[in-house]
A and B are shown apart, each in its own frame.
Chain A
């Protein structure tokens, strides 16, 4: 946008590395200068994580967190996509159901914790349920939106060639809505990852979220706290990037032409 010269290719790697390096330096020297005994330096974090990996705990925790997200997100997709498609297909039903969804949506998953514990007890199911709930709404809403945004011209063509309602839904509406459904899934995955951390802080005794709280509570191991946070950030990023690759599949790529 600014009128400066076009950046070169090597700059794509140079600038982020520079910014990252500066951040690390800033971090390191603030720790050194303030002589804090508690906040870890970057090296301390790296050592802490290495120690945890050697004990095998790091990978176990990562596995637990990923598993819970997979279950919760998977369940949300399995329930949410058909539900969203149905609501999008029958706008009059959607008019009735939508206000309820809009009221339930702002209720933080944290607020659902007491109810979840009541229903599922303290254990694996509670975090999975919380993840499921929080991923459900973006999926349903994006399906509804995707279906109603299908240009009527496609539906007309489908009917013209003799398709009945189920055929129309499967062969025209669903493929046409797919790009938007994928966007909803990606956003839901991001939310699921966030909520996983929250859910693990409360109701279980393993996983990355649990590590964040436990490291502090049982020994003020802030090096592990920060290490866990960075791991959470990196894995969350990896999940998001992986999902974005789906955009390149040719039968949906047409829907993402406007994105850079």
Chain B
């Protein structure tokens, strides 16, 4: 037990060292715009005092959850279907490959055109940013199923629908969960950008607004720090889901 705690000492010490170096660099610089860790903490405290911290975190999480969930609900069944039928994959893959490199931000004008300014646009952008990675994950997961599994299913006389339910679905589940975790990370990164479209709450909004309305760089960096920590927590949360026993059968190489 003690040795496990010991494993954390050195990384924490390193973080403390970096924070100290940051503080030192800031105190020596002539411009007093960029905040040090202490000021940043003060910024966080400021947010708490104004009751904004929880409000902003919730707003960002809300948008991420909606955009991510909508994308998952659409992309996973569609992707599984496309992966299962060769011709569908042939038809849709080039289209997906063209749309994938288009940054969600490039959709902003279209988003505003279709959904106006506000929450819906942000959710649309997050939805888009999750859609293509999840589609590709689902397609890839189906294609990686060893054909022996499918053949065994057919050998035992399963109908096509039964093969999908009893072979395909359990076989793709581990890879889907990993894909969901990675895409959730992407969504969390994009929410910052998505909130640049005239919403008035959220961590991304905080970062842009704090700078525009008064050069409050302490709030900017506070926002960045909170984003980083929450992103980390989301990732850990998803990872523990991956580790649950019923899903671990796939991780033989680990």
Contacts and interface: CB of A to CB of B under 8 A. Distances in A.
A and B in contact, CB less than 8 Å: yes
Given A1-B84, A2-B84, A106-B232, A213 B95 contact: no
Q: Chain B: interface secondary structure?
A: helix
A16 B84 CA distance: 16
Given A4-B86, A95-B10, A118-B217, A111 B192 contact: yes
A229 interface: yes
Interface string A123-159: 0000000000000000000000000000000000000
Nearest to A230: B98
A103 B110 contact: no
Contacts, number: 182
Contacts of A95: 7, 10-11
Interface in A186-239: 190, 193-198, 201, 209, 212-213, 215-216, 222, 225-226, 228-230, 232-237, 239
B235 A106 contact: yes
A114 B85 CA distance: 47
B1 interface: no
A73 interface: no
Given A1-B145, A233-B101, A106 B85 contact: no
A213 B235 contact: no
A249 interface: no
Interface string B108-125: 111001000000000000
A106 B185 contact: yes
B224 A107 contact: yes
Interface residues of A, number: 65
B162 interface: no
Interface stretch (A18-26, A82-90, A163-171, A175-183): A18-26
B160 A2 contact: yes
Contacts of B145: 1
Given A106-B189, A107-B227, A98 B98 contact: no
Interface in B55-98: 83-88, 90-95, 97-98
A160 interface: no
Q: What class of interface size applies to chain B in its complex with A?
A: 35 or more
B106 A209 contact: yes
Contact of A114 (B143, B154, B220, B228): B220
B228 A104 contact: yes
Nearest to B14: A96
A63 to B, nearest CB: 18
Contact of A12 (B90, B142, B154, B192): B90
B213 interface: no
Given A15-B91, A194-B101, A111 B160 contact: no
Contact of B113 (A39, A92, A212): A39
Given A106-B232, A232-B106, A237 B87 contact: no
Contact of A198 (B11, B83, B98, B193): B193
Contacts of B185: 106
Interface in A43-62: none
A7 interface: yes
Contacts of B38: none
A18 B94 CA distance: 11
A103 B229 contact: yes
B84 to A, nearest CB: 5
A260 B142 CA distance: 13
Given A1-B145, A197-B103, A115 B113 contact: no
A108 B227 contact: yes
Given A1-B84, A4-B87, A118-B217, 16 more contacts: A1-B85, A2-B160, A12-B90, A19-B95, A20-B95, A39-B113, A96-B11, A97-B14, A100-B11, A107-B189, A108-B190, A108-B191, A112-B224, A193-B101, A197-B103, A213-B109
Interface of B: 7, 10-11, 13-15, 18, 33-34, 83-88, 90-95, 97-103, 105-110, 113, 142-143, 145, 147, 150, 154, 160, 168, 185, 188-193, 196, 204, 207-208, 211, 217, 220-221, 223-224, 227-232, 234-235
23 contacts: A1-B84, A1-B86, A2-B84, A11-B87, A15-B88, A95-B11, A98-B11, A100-B11, A102-B235, A106-B227, A106-B231, A107-B227, A110-B193, A110-B204, A112-B224, A118-B33, A201-B105, A209-B106, A212-B105, A229-B106, A232-B106, A236-B102, A237-B100
